[in-house]
Amino acid sequence: MTDSSKGVLLVVDDEPLKRATLQIELAGAGYSVLEAADAMAAAKVIETRPVDVVITDVRMPETDGIQLLEMVKSRSPRTHVILMTAYGTVDSAVEAIKRGAYDYINKPFATEVLVEKLDRLLACRSAEGDGHGGPETLGQLVGQSYASRRLFEQIRAVADSDRPVLVEGEAGTCRQRVAATLHQLSKRSAGPLIKFNCTACVVEVLEGELFGAGGEGPAERMGRLEEAAGGTLFLDEIEALSMPLQARLLQAMDEGFFSRAGGGRVRLDARLVFGTQENLRGRVEAGQFRDDLYYRLDAVHLVLPPLRDRRDDIPAMATHYLRHTAKAAEGKSVPTRISTHAMDVLMSYHWPGNVRELENVLERAVAFASGPEIQPRDILVPSASQGNQETVAQTGMHPGLTETIAGVEQSLIDAALRKAAGNQAKAAQFLGIPRTTLRDKMAKYGMVGKPAKRELS
């Protein structure tokens, strides 16, 4: 993959018009696209330059797409193959995937469907580290999408300033982590990071929580503004502040001093970061938020896009989460990978709860997984058709094509191992696949080290 494209594709089709049309449309989607009229020409391309994905027709003269698939896998194992067929059946899909294809697509198809498959596939490869550049980590944040990289640039630009920052994002977009990253990268990183949610207490005591209380002895108490001296104060859900408290906060920011409730003047020595999950401009127009405070905060305004608008980050976040979980497991056996089709499930969900919901789903998947790799059956997300009822993603009484193929593959492998008395080399011969492919499939389904199932007599 080059810096100027999303990936290098090779389109193989014996019909020039279809080949040219697909080349133009995929190039328009941001890919570098090569083309070949037959399998022999495709093989020469693969030998001369790296290709991320081969997209080939199944029905071609002389050498068909299945044979080309085998050639690609033998010459360039890291190159993925997607088959195009007008004769798509479960049997042909099983045969193609058994021989190492990533996926297949029925003709006719909308190019957008193919682009979605490609985007998911190459996002997964980047998250796993495929030599094409992977996700970027900044403080407590991880991402690889354009939106995340742009956010990281903005954070770096403002981190070492004392100017107040407004962080806007939906629930679950991790505003607190952005605040923590700003603090970590700032010149105040050696000082305290104080976090406070403005909805955490009733309005009557909120003033004392923020500004503290004057007096002597037990009556004297520091507020959050004073506790954060020398460091950073993150005030989340700033929209919950009453208009009088907004005025006091703005005065403290303008003057550099504030007064405790009941007396006592204190210097403001904290960098202020504010969080909100609402459009404050709308609250200003509704008379619910001071316009002068809004304009002060809006000068440095970071907007966190919801996860559904930056799905390219999902593989990076999931991989990062599993690595963190493995380190925390202290030698216990936990899954360290996510299967390609399980990742497809994560990529296709709309994530109303954003990053927090993704991490909760992954936490359950780690608990449910029975092998080193998370499978689609391990992922539970709310079913759109059943309200809030949780269902196993993509599974149920009527499994989809992915699960059907996976089930057939496991049955075929198990039967071959039984026939070969557990000898993997012989089992691979029975299946007509390389031994390395058999090992990969066994690892994928958690079959390594497990005896083949015995038939009941």
* Cα-only R_g, the chain: 28
Q: So what's the pLDDT on residue 15?
A: 86
Q: So what's the pLDDT on residue 180?
A: 96
Non-local (6+) Cβ contacts of 449 within 8 A are none
Please say whether the beta carbons of 102 and 124 come within 8 A.
no
Tell me the C-alpha distance between 29 and 52, whole Å: 15
Please say whether the beta carbons of 8 and 2 come within 8 A.
yes
What is the full per-residue pLDDT of the chain (457 aa) written as tens digits?
Answer: 444 568 899 999 988 888 888 888 898 888 999 999 999 999 888 877 889 999 998 888 888 888 888 888 877 888 899 988 876 544 665 677 777 888 888 878 888 889 988 887 877 666 555 444 467 899 999 998 878 888 998 999 899 889 999 999 999 999 999 999 999 999 999 999 999 999 988 877 898 899 988 766 565 788 999 999 999 999 999 999 999 999 999 999 999 999 887 777 899 999 999 999 999 999 999 999 999 999 999 989 999 999 998 888 999 999 999 999 988 877 788 899 998 888 888 988 999 999 999 999 999 999 989 889 999 889 998 754 444 444 444 443 334 444 456 666 777 787 778 778 888 888 887 777 777 777 777 777 777 655 444 333 2
Q: Are strands 80-85 and 193-197 parallel, antiparallel or unpaired?
A: unpaired
Q: So what's the pLDDT on residue 384?
A: 45
CA distances from 363 to 54, 57, 356, 367, 378 (A): 35, 40, 11, 6, 10
- Complete domains list, the chain, with CATH: 8-128 (3.40.50.2300), 146-307 (3.40.50.300), 311-396 (1.10.8.60), 403-444 (1.10.10.60)
Tell me the C-alpha distance between 441 and 410, whole Å: 8
